[in-house]
Chain A
């Protein structure tokens, strides 16, 4: 949009310059055509005019016109230069503003995109956390259940075999340390308890 404005301004300045040039040429041609009339008065006037506006005067006028035109051209060039500088500064300001606005818009979009991505990431993390919590809870329950089962199994195994283990250990540990003389009372007690059965087996045995 700024390029088009610049082109338009340059075209306007060019048109104004061309208009000045055409006007100067037209005025010069009009002065040349007026000398061709056939009236004596007019001829006299023309002569006077010729006398007054002789070639030197015309040359003087041309020079003045040329100088005036150069002055106008210079002034216009200065105005054009000022205008061009002003336009350039405005254009710079405009470009700066536009670029700033554009950058702001882009940054806003970028920030919005980042916020959206952040929000998506947060939602995803929250979902993941929720899934992890659920999974952890399920795993915790399963682990607790397995622990209870294992504990129960070990307890059952312990209760089933502990007595045998202790008996075996006691027999292995102290079995050979007990003197037979100390066992006599126990052995006689057991024999006394089974005396009748032993006697019956002896009497009725083969």
Chain B
């Protein structure tokens, strides 16, 4: 039976979050290893996990006390770190976590299950965003939209040409 693919919580949005998870996992692994060689009777201090790691563990049904699960999670996270597509999105303001969660959900449903996002700020785009993939850039900003529809605005601003006068009908 093949193991279930890793599910990433929507709070893990960027490669930085992945790195943080890996570092945290490594720290926990080392602390548990140290606990194994501890002197009997010494005080045990259990490692604390972050909310990000907790969500990941719960979402995937893992137990970090099990070395196999820790090993598997580490391997998968490294694989994701190496292969996950990263989109760079520039906004006019700092996105809220809720906004990022909705965006990541959509990206992982429609683009790639491990899609990662890095964000930046560009104040001149007004609204929308500019998405940059590995080789391409997609301008979804309001300014670009205005530029696309510039002729429409010009047509609305320009007064219509007077219609030609109808030919006179002469009655006998």
Instruction: Please list the residues of chain A having a beta carbon within 8 angstroms of any beta carbon in chain B.
Output: 159, 162-164, 166-167, 170-172, 174-176, 178, 180-181, 183-184, 186-188, 190-192, 194-195, 197-199, 201-202, 205-206
C-alpha spacing A176/B122, complex, angstroms = 11
Which of A183, A188, A197 has most B Cβ within 10 Å? A183
Assembly CA distance A187 to B128 (angstroms):
6
Which label, helix, strand, loop or mixed, suits the secondary structure of the A interface? helix
Enumerate chain B residues within 8 angstroms of A195, measured Cβ to Cβ: 110-111
**Closest residue on chain A to residue B137 by CB atoms:** A201
Chain B, 119-151, contact with A by CB distance < 8 Å: what is the 0/1 string?
Answer: 000011111110101111010101100110010
21 A-B pairs with C-beta separation under 8 A:
A159-B158, A163-B146, A163-B150, A164-B150, A166-B153, A171-B143, A180-B93, A180-B96, A181-B99, A186-B127, A187-B103, A187-B129, A190-B138, A191-B131, A191-B140, A194-B140, A198-B87, A198-B133, A202-B112, A202-B133, A206-B134
A-B contact count (CB 8 A): 107
Contact B153 A163 (CB under 8 A): yes
Most-contacted residue by chain B among A171, A176, A186 (CB, 10 A)? A171
- Interface mask (B97-123 → A, CB under 8 Å = 1, otherwise 0): 011001100110011100000000001
* Interface contact A198-B138, CB-CB below 8 Å: yes
Closest CB in chain B relative to A162 CB, distance in Å: 6
Does B85 reach chain A (CB closer than 8 Å)?
yes
Contact of A163 among B126, B128, B154 (CB under 8 A): B154
B111: A residues at CB distance < 8 A: 191, 195, 198-199, 202
Q: Is the CB of A202 within 8 A of B85?
A: yes
Q: Which residues of A contact B136 (CB under 8 A)?
A: 197-198, 201
